[in-house]
Amino acid sequence: MTTKKLFIRTFGCQMNVHDSEQLAELLKSSGYGTTGSAKDADLIVVNTCSIRDKAEQKVYSELGRYRHLRKAKPHLIIGVCGCVAQQQGERLLEKIPWLDLVFGTHNIHRLPELISRVGKTGRPVAETGFRETVPSIGILALPEKGSVSAFVTIMQGCDNYCAFCVVPYLRGREESRKFHDILAEVRTLAAHGVKEVTLLGQNVNSYGKSLGNGHSFSELLRAIGEIEGIERIRFTTSHPKDLTDDIIDCFRNVKALCGSIHLPVQSGADAVLARMNRRYTSADYLDCVRKLREACPDIAVSSDIIVGFPGETDQDYQKTLDLMEKVRFDTLFSFQYSERKGTAAVGLDGKVNPDEKRRRLIDLQALQDRHTQEKNDTLVGRTVEVLVEGTSRKTSRDMMGRTRTNKIVNFTGDRDLVGKTVRVRIVEAFLHSLRGEMLD
């Protein structure tokens, strides 16, 4: 049988990255193998993100690139999935006439059937219904041979309705996956040589709430920590309002749990946090960070911040910078507020003008760059544990891995180190990576 070729382009968060892995796995049984070139593809899938307007616009320019391919190759099928697909549904088919398929975040499992429908009828289809449980959630996508790291979805959706955010409308209700299904998946991954798992959910800290049977996130961490072969556990994303002492304790007691946490703060001003519907104060946030550092002194803390949320005054913005000074994040993802249709913030007064938003973002990022560099500089001369992932991006003569605190380290070493944990002495620190020398 000749294999057909699938080309996937993925935008957005790790959830989307994992959805794309699952989608590729699912299509194997329909005879598709993946290709790195859109030109060779029989099926192109664009997995999309709608978190900010810019993310959505990227999708349209990406799809524009495939128009001529469609003309040159009549049997080519072009599909769109993910959050823009969920949001726009059939409207995408009207906007982009060379599209064949639109399928939403809960409909990945139907892709084989939808493809064959398009093949038979020659007519485009859109499928964006929500389901109680996302049927594709448990598809086991084994990472490529030799990969040391894998994603595991532990929950779908989000019920938090932060005032700026479209995710709850595009991913549906929050629902946790069954405790034992998750453990079984991690065991299978470990049996295939995976050393590191990243647990995925919009708000992993509230894992278990929708199950109503007492299973909690900390219990899940402890149970995964017992699985043989799993050396590193990471998770994303954490909501500060649900970061319990029990979870923080896991940084002390679960050996495999890595010393790094992504804990989005969004703003340092309580008035802004309240309008964002985040349900914590800046003092609560600082308290979380203090406790995390007590439990794990070297823990790396990263965060997300939005500038220019409606009603954010210059003083509010200053409070965000103050909070950054107090916390000193290892890394930070920062964004200008982007209004998203259907969210609560659309109705708020006090829109901040675009130039002001830009200025605030530039200054904030300059401050963060200083903090990041200072943090990385403190590692020079220290010896760290690096899990080797592959060759370095810059030169294939070097190897690349990560510290337990999720920092990238490049060093000279052999390719057969992939999957091994080695000790590396840091000799130079940059903004986005470290340079080290391997110790024997």
Judged by CB under 6 A, the residue of 6, 12, 110, 221 near ligand F3S is 12
Helix axes 111-121, 14-28, angle to 10 degrees: 60
Choose among ligand SAH, ligand SF4, ligand F3S, none what residue 340 binds, the Cβ cut-off being 5 to 8 Å by kind. ligand SAH
Nearer to ligand SF4, 263 or 426 (CB): 263
What does the DSSP assignment read for 20-44? Answer: HHHHHHHHHTTTEEE-S-GGG-SEE
* 52 sits near ligand SAH (criterion: CB under 6 A): yes
* 51 sits near ligand SAH (criterion: CB under 6 A): yes
Give the binding range for ligand SAH (CB under 6 A) out of 30-38, 85-93, 330-338, 347-355: 330-338
Contacts of 332 (CB under 8 A, 6+ apart): 302, 303, 304, 305, 324, 365, 368, 371, 372
| Strand ranges of the sheet holding 32-34, from the earlier edge strand across to the other edge | 32-34, 4-10, 43-48, 77-82, 101-103, 125-127
What is the nearest approach in angstroms of ligand SAH to the Cβ of residue 177?
Answer: 17
Choose among ligand F3S, ligand SF4, ligand SAH, none what residue 233 binds, the Cβ cut-off being 5 to 8 Å by kind. none
* 134 sits near ligand F3S (criterion: CB under 6 A): no
What is the nearest approach in angstroms of ligand SAH to the Cβ of residue 197?
Answer: 19
Choose among ligand SAH, ligand F3S, ligand SF4, none what residue 23 binds, the Cβ cut-off being 5 to 8 Å by kind. none
Q: Of all helices (H) and strands (E), which one includes residue 421? A: strand 421-429
Assess contact for 275 and 420: CB atoms under 8 A: no
What is the nearest approach in angstroms of ligand SF4 to the Cβ of residue 161?
Answer: 6
Nearer to ligand SAH, 232 or 357 (CB): 357
* 234 sits near ligand SF4 (criterion: CB under 6 A): no
Q: Are strands 434-438 and 408-412 parallel, antiparallel or unpaired?
A: parallel
Under rule CB under 6 A, how many of the chain's residues touch ligand SF4? 10
Distance CA 275, CA 356 (A): 20
Nearer to ligand SAH, 32 or 337 (CB): 337
Q: What is the sign, positive or negative, of the torsion defined by CA atoms of 224, 226, 228, 231?
A: positive
Angle at 166 between CA 162 and CA 167, to 5 degrees: 85
Strand partners, 386: 422
Residue 61: count other Cβ atoms within 10 Å of its Cβ: 8
* 167 sits near ligand F3S (criterion: CB under 6 A): yes
* 266 sits near ligand SAH (criterion: CB under 6 A): yes
* 172 sits near ligand F3S (criterion: CB under 6 A): no
* 333 sits near ligand SF4 (criterion: CB under 6 A): no
What is the nearest approach in angstroms of ligand SAH to the Cβ of residue 165?
Answer: 4
What is the nearest approach in angstroms of ligand SAH to the Cβ of residue 155?
Answer: 11
Strand partners, 417: none
